Structure 1
């Protein structure tokens, strides 16, 4: 998809003689606003929570405005509201798939949220819970549909449909699926087969001074790289494939310059 000149300026970064410019990724507002959902817990405006080594940060679920937890108050025990990913959660958790919230459903979803650090854990099957269900379902056989080519080369498989990435080689998964955040609407991550042409562990954008840790560039400035904010926040990047800091660090150890990056699909609207 062609980008406007202004969009390209937004994505500009440090120019490197050996290859194209790198993409800067700036924080953005929540993509779930179109569904009428809001962050389930209060956030500090304009600031991402500090990252403590070895201490995973909870993933912030989006909930109906009436169920958002106010500052200083405890989260309710169980939501009575049917979320947009109710059926997916029911199916994965072995519940009756009727698409209607029940007390039993809520308790099961709440336990799932607590196990996967989703907060507030109220049992509302919102977009973060849905994304986590997709990730868990993909763990057994991420390439079951055969979209990513089976090759003797190391291949980073980037599935925009499910917002997942894994690495495979010789028909074997060598890096398990993880959640990604791809390009926002009008700045979608380009699809196709590419090769990693530049790796920079501590890359910094020269336009916005945006940190792009563990950057692995694969197409005209688009890169796999880590982000400090919650991977589920915002409508997306300016084209890059974002990963959590932990996942970006881990995949940095797996991939090398010249490895294949294969991207397909289209990011869902919600």
Structure 2
């Protein structure tokens, strides 16, 4: 994206490059391209994995109860069509959630986010996780995030927060971006009400739950370090 103009309510600011808000809504098809109200009773390629994740009996065969449980999961996280079919997108979402759970309270155990520069906000695109470090100590998180979709990926590497706007508004997508903290062109941490696992992703920003975006606002400031690494599944 070229030059993008964004404004906070009552104040204008120009931000160059990158994406500044959530991507426009997209239909993400799984197990077919048409929306349908009825359950898809076909056994999907990730049937066993979905059954195990959802606490269902693991037999690798789709049932009405399996379908109902999978549909509920899909509806909660914006996966369409919501048919209960255990396809690649459903399993990608579940496996990302499993990786987040496995991170526990030591998200930086692999040392990929540098911790030798004081306070730093880490963003792991692979696990769709973010957290704040104070040197070797975990200061906040880890928390789930929703980063850039295929084609508007959140760019990797070392960054710094250069502009903050608590009540930001994107004139590109005409959407609110509360607690926006820009760290790379038009890319920012900011709050959204979407599920953190809602596909396909953002326009490049690091979307956060309101409680986490507010905590980041209180813990970070202009000039603070940000480090982004990894590759988001599906990009």
Give the alignment partner of residue 24 of structure 2, picking from 14, 22, 27. Answer: 27
Are the structure 2 counterparts of residues 268 and 160 from structure 1 closer, same or farther at C-alpha, using a change threshold of 3 Å?
A: same
Following the alignment from structure 1 to structure 2, what is the Cα–Cα distance between the partners of residues 149 and 12?
Answer: 32
Take 1:85 and 1:256, find their aligned partners in 2: how far apart are those partners?
Answer: 45
Q: CA deviation at 1:216?
A: 0.5
| Consecutive unaligned residues in structure 2, runs of 5 or more | none
Matches within 5 A, 1:97-116: 100=60
Q: How many residues were matched structurally?
A: 219
Structure with the higher fraction of residues in strand conformation: 2
**Equivalents in 1 of 2:206, 2:46: separation in Å?**
25
Match of 1:8 among 2, 23, 31: 2
Structure 2 residue 31 is matched with structure 1 residue 36: yes
Quote how far apart the aligned CAs of 1:158 are.
0.6
Per the normalisation by structure 2, the TM-score is 0.73
The answer for the alignment partner of 1:4 in structure 2 is none
Give the conservation status (yes or no) of the 8 Å contact 2:5–2:16.
Answer: no
Question: Please, which of 133, 148, 152 is the counterpart of residue 183 of structure 1?
Answer: 148
Equivalent of 1:249 in 214, 221, 225: 214
SS at match of 1:202: strand
- 1:129 and 2:124 aligned: no
Match of residue 187 from structure 2: 222
Which residue number in structure 1 is paired with residue 134 of structure 2? 169
Q: What is the distance in 2 between the residues matched to 1:25 and 1:205?
A: 9
1:220 is displaced (CA, Å) by: 1.1
SS at match of 1:13: strand
> Does structure 1 residue 193 correspond to structure 2 residue 155?
no
Change (3 A) 1:192 1:118: closer
Q: TM-score, normalised by structure 1?
A: 0.64
Aligned counterpart for 1:156 among listed residues 106, 121, 146: 121
Aligned equivalents of 1:134 and 1:85: distance in 2? 19
SS of equivalent residue, structure 1 residue 26: coil
Per the TM alignment, residue 87 of structure 1 is displaced from its structure 2 partner at its CA by 4.5
Gaps of 5+ in 1: 1-6, 39-63, 71-75
- 1:147 matches 2:91: no
Q: How far apart, in 2, do the equivalents of 1:197 and 1:8 lie?
A: 19
In the TM superposition, residue 151 of structure 1 has moved relative to its aligned partner by: 2.3
Instruction: Quote the Cα distance in structure 1 between the aligned partners of 2:5 and 2:200.
Output: 19
SS of equivalent residue, structure 2 residue 213: helix
- Contact 2:147–2:201 (8 Å) recurs in 1: yes
Q: Cα 1:185–1:80, aligned 2, differ >3 Å: closer, same or farther?
A: closer
In angstroms, what is the RMSD of aligned CA positions?
A: 3.9
SS at match of 1:16: strand
User: 2: CA distance between counterparts of 1:200 and 1:158?
Assistant: 20
